[in-house]
Amino acid sequence: MSTPDGRHCGRNSDSIPCLRVALSVPVSQTFVYAAPGAPGPAARVGCRVQVPFNRRRVTGYVLETLTQPPDRELKEVIDVLDMEPVFHNKMVSFFEWIAGYYLHPIGTVIRAALPEAHFKSAGLTKKGVTMLNRGLFQSGESAMLSWIRDHPDSRLPWPLKKVQPLKEKGWIRLETRVSKGGGIADPHELLFIRPTKGLELKAVLGQRRKSTAGNEVEFLTEVFDAGAVLLSDIKLRFKNGAYLANKWIKKGVLETVRIPVHTHPGGAAVPPPSPPRELHAHQQHALNHIRASLDRGTFSPCLLYGVTGSGKTEVYYRAIEHAVKLGRQAILMAPEISLASYLEGLFRSRLGDRIAVYHSGLTRNERHYQWMRMIRGEADLVIGARSALFAPLPQLGLIIVDEEHDSAYVQEETRGGPHYQARDAAVVRAKMENAVVILGSGTPSVQSYQNGINGRYHLLTMPDRVENRPLPGVELVDMREQRNGRGKKEMISLRLRKALGDNLAAGRQAILFLNRRGFHRLFLCRACGRSISCPNCDVALTFHLHEDRLMCHYCGFTCGTRVRCTSCDRGDFKAYGFGTEKLEHEIHTLFPEARVSRMDADATRRKGEAFRILRQFGRGETDILVGTQMITKGYDFPHVTLVGVISADLSLSFPDFRAGERTFQLLSQAAGRAGRGNRKGTVIIQTFNPDHYVVRSAMVHDFQSFFEREQDLRKKLGYPPFCSLACLKLQGAGKKKTETAVRQLNADLRTILRRWPRRGKEIQVLGPVEAPMARLKGKQRWQFLVKSKSAALLRHFLVEIERSSKWLRSEGVYLISEVDPYDML
Ligand code: ADP
Ligand code: ZN
């Protein structure tokens, strides 16, 4: 804590309350300011303020009101930006923990957590209009009122404290608006279309079948099925959506309506509630434990290890229900937005409107709206992806992290926000709020399972599928033996082809999983053999047929296919490898009668598209679903009887000590999609490594044997959870400059170690080495691995590094720390 730039130009602090403020700029300390002296909204904890800093105005967040003001003069807060706090008192320590643990400036942690900036606008009240017409006040006020009359939705050009008196007199109402609102009149209401009351689709189509052409039937079915759809959404999905909407509105079949956004505005159709059912013994046991913990109201971490299809979702639901009964709220996190939307559909049918949704797929308006509902206590349950970790619930009682093993819970450092592991941070948040946290998975992470064994987490096991449905049989296909007559490798083995054919003939559904997007993996120059790679990154460009372009999956760079080789300048290339796009084409060729759809980052770029693909598949309107890891997660499609894994080897070869763990999870999760209904499922895994222990264990659904092998390996090699590990990444723009910084930091690290003669030996610093992708988005990347058996010592060391490496930032080189938090409890 210190005063901003230390100059004595403010007021004396004894008489006025002081505020501890985190600034939204990259500095790690917090600062003390005097509360605004002039009348205006109070600067409470959780409000955003404008403060002077280094002769600039910056946004800050009030963390604390100090009862014991420091004995020096303070600068004064310029303006208070919020009428009501945007985060609770209780969240301050959580933000501070994230900042400290992941070595990130606190103000930028908070900035990244809050929905994007909003601003105040004002409108005249009836009384205000009367006053303005009568001209009964001072000229300053008159000018302000006229401006407000003429600019009803605009950002107020004055600080809030200046308009506050007008509000107190009842002449204006103040509103919070989101910056760049995109023309939506009210952030709470969006424009939907819906069928006119009393009309039935059959009747409409029956009368007009002749005049409905092209995709009109599909369009109308969509609207009638959903009940109401967001107009902007339907315009995205149907090229002629605007025309069709207009046409049918004119005919009186559809009508427009402004609806306050209570739902994910994909217009998610709410499935009817399924009848309450009896829990099976393992579910009941798990639930009893969770309920008892909730009743105690103390921190309690549980690992719910239930095989795929064991009915974890039902346990989540009942746990949430119990928390709500006790007057507390819950967060349910899913690793992916599409999975969050899917869960939202399931839960909305049972919990109704007291659900909030929060993830980065929402527009700014929606995010802001959902955030304010949460903070006002208008939601009992928040469903979202990793950013839901920060949901500002007043009485948080339960956090559920579904598919806890998923690496998507790791938030990479972006736009100045922190790097963090949302699952681990969820455990810490639960601890701070005296809440229960459930980490759920059919294939727990090695770390969480180890915590379950050593008693840090309470291990709850559900080893059987619901109604004793058998786990699917898994077959391996050795791809080393699969070559066609010309010696060319086939994408789909004969075995899988036959199984697909049989499955189709029986009228059942299949899922094909391939963890790579695009059509061809790379273009090789026929003359010199080099691949065409991204100018900004150390990776080959992938060919995408739909766009007819080469694309970089890391930075988004794209170019046309009429390129020349950067090494030899020839223009003749051969395409190698395949991705989901090619797989989809191949299936079309092999089974022209099958209805195929594809789900990957390309196919789901448009909002609502993932939801639509899943819904169609769920209704049985698609026979084969092709996709990346997106489709392996959590979904429950009872009619899927065949799952094909096109290549089990892709993730095995990753340069990461978790490659084996990740592959086991992917294979098991993919396999877990098969045979969830009454019929037994089949899984076919194609691999070049049929003897690998990961593939073997996945084949017989044996988590235990996988875990034991993995445990041995990690013990031997000294990897987590048997030691603490931090990866320090350095990232800078110029090659020379970055290398110099790396060398300097290396020297600094060694100096710190030498200063600790005894304990220094317990820390191992590996590196510097070039990071696995040495150039990414135009940045040079280096890394150090820091290991220690003592988590506390590692922590201490990292803090030292943070302190001594401040010079890096001024060199334009960034230090990112990724830590495995084993010491958090
Ligand atoms: P998991 O998330 O563990 O993979 P789900 O929660 O999706 O499994 O449950 C699998 C299926 O079993 C779902 O269709 C669900 O509705 C059903 N189910 C869950 N609990 C029961 C129960 N006690 N009795 C009958 N069916 C159940
Ligand atoms: Zn790139």
* Nearest atom within ligand 1 for CA of residue 283: 23
Between 262 and 323, name the one with better pLDDT: 323
Q: Is 445 touching ligand 1 by the criterion CB < 6 Å?
A: no
Helix, strand, coil shares of the chain, percent, nearest 5, are 35, 25, 40
Distance 665 CA to ligand 2 centre (A): 28
pLDDT band per the 50, 70, 90 thresholds, residue 811: low
Residue 178: pLDDT over 50: no
pLDDT for res 146: 84
pLDDT band per the 50, 70, 90 thresholds, residue 622: very high
Distance 555 CA to ligand 2 centre (A): 4
* Ligand 1 pocket test target in 278, 279, 314, 317 with most atoms within 8 Å of CB: 314
pLDDT for res 160: 76
Residue 509: pLDDT over 90: yes
Distance 345 CA to ligand 1 centre (A): 15
Q: Is 443 touching ligand 1 by the criterion CB < 6 Å?
A: no
Q: Is 787 touching ligand 1 by the criterion CB < 6 Å?
A: no
Distance 560 CA to ligand 2 centre (A): 15
pLDDT for res 54: 85
Size of the chain, expressed as the number of residues it contains: 825
Distance 206 CA to ligand 2 centre (A): 53
Residue 58: pLDDT over 90: no
Q: Is 472 touching ligand 1 by the criterion CB < 6 Å?
A: no
pLDDT for res 539: 82
The C-alpha R_g of the chain, in whole angstroms, comes to 29
pLDDT for res 212: 58
Q: Is the dihedral of CA 260, 263, 264, 269 positive or negative?
A: negative
pLDDT for res 119: 61
User: Of 177-181, 231-235, 449-453, 678-682, where does the model show the most confidence?
Assistant: 449-453
Q: Whose CA is nearest to atom 16 of ligand 1?
A: 311
Chain centroid, CA 516 distance in Å? 20
For the residues 107-132, what does the mean pLDDT come to? 81
Q: Is 312 touching ligand 1 by the criterion CB < 6 Å?
A: yes
CB 393 within 8 A of CB 379: yes
pLDDT for res 628: 92
CB 545 within 8 A of CB 534: no
Question: Residue 722 phi/psi, 5° resolution?
Answer: -100, 5
pLDDT for res 37: 77
Residue 544: pLDDT over 80: yes
Which ligand is the nearest neighbour of the Cα of 773? 2
Question: Residue 401 phi/psi, 5° resolution?
Answer: -110, 100
Over residues 354-368, the pLDDT tens digits come to 899 998 888 777 888
CB 409 within 8 A of CB 336: no
For the residues 668-694, what does the mean pLDDT come to? 89
pLDDT band per the 50, 70, 90 thresholds, residue 210: low
* Ligand 1 pocket test target in 318, 402, 614, 636 with most atoms within 8 Å of CB: 636
In percent, the amount of the chain with pLDDT more than 90 equals 33
Q: Is 465 touching ligand 1 by the criterion CB < 6 Å?
A: no
Average confidence score pLDDT of the chain:
84
Over residues 584-611, the pLDDT tens digits come to 999 999 999 999 999 998 888 877 788 8
* Nearest atom within ligand 1 for CA of residue 308: 4
For the residues 27-40, what does the mean pLDDT come to? 84
Residue 285: pLDDT over 90: yes
For the residues 769-777, what does the mean pLDDT come to? 84
Residue 459: pLDDT over 90: yes
Chain centroid, CA 372 distance in Å? 19
pLDDT band per the 50, 70, 90 thresholds, residue 731: confident
Lowest mean pLDDT among 348-362, 402-416, 664-678, 807-821: 807-821
Between 649 and 416, name the one with better pLDDT: 649
Task: Compute the half-sphere exposure of residue 707: CA atoms within 13 Å on the CB side of its CA.
Answer: 17
Distance 311 CA to ligand 1 centre (A): 3
pLDDT for res 134: 79
pLDDT for res 269: 39
Between 426 and 43, name the one with better pLDDT: 426
Distance from C-alpha of 580 to C-alpha of 611, rounded to nearest angstrom: 19
Residue 559: pLDDT over 60: yes
For the residues 463-492, what does the mean pLDDT come to? 80
User: Of 198-202, 479-483, 786-790, where does the model show the most confidence?
Assistant: 786-790
Q: What totals of helices (H) and strands (E) does the chain contain, helices first?
A: 24, 34
Quick count: other Cβ atoms within 10 Å of Cβ 722? 16
Q: Is 280 touching ligand 1 by the criterion CB < 6 Å?
A: yes
Ligand 2 is an ion; residues with CB less than 5 A from it = 534, 536-537, 552, 554-555, 557
* Ligand 1 pocket test target in 313, 317, 633, 639 with most atoms within 8 Å of CB: 313
In percent, the amount of the chain with pLDDT more than 70 equals 88
Left, alpha or beta for 253 (phi > 0: left; psi -120 to 50: alpha)? alpha
Which ligand is the nearest neighbour of the Cα of 440? 1
Q: Is 311 touching ligand 1 by the criterion CB < 6 Å?
A: yes
Residue 431: pLDDT over 80: yes
Q: Is 350 touching ligand 1 by the criterion CB < 6 Å?
A: no
pLDDT for res 2: 42
Residue 442: pLDDT over 90: yes
Contacts of 732-741 with CB under 8 Å at 24 or more apart are 732/779, 732/780, 732/811, 732/812, 732/813, 732/814, 733/778, 733/779, 733/780, 733/812, 734/780, 734/812, 735/780, 737/811, 737/812, 737/813, 738/780, 738/782, 738/813, 739/780, 739/782, 741/808, 741/811, 741/813
Residue 127: pLDDT over 50: yes
Which ligand is the nearest neighbour of the Cα of 542? 2
Q: Is 768 touching ligand 1 by the criterion CB < 6 Å?
A: no
pLDDT band per the 50, 70, 90 thresholds, residue 268: very low
For the residues 213-240, what does the mean pLDDT come to? 80
For the residues 318-336, what does the mean pLDDT come to? 96
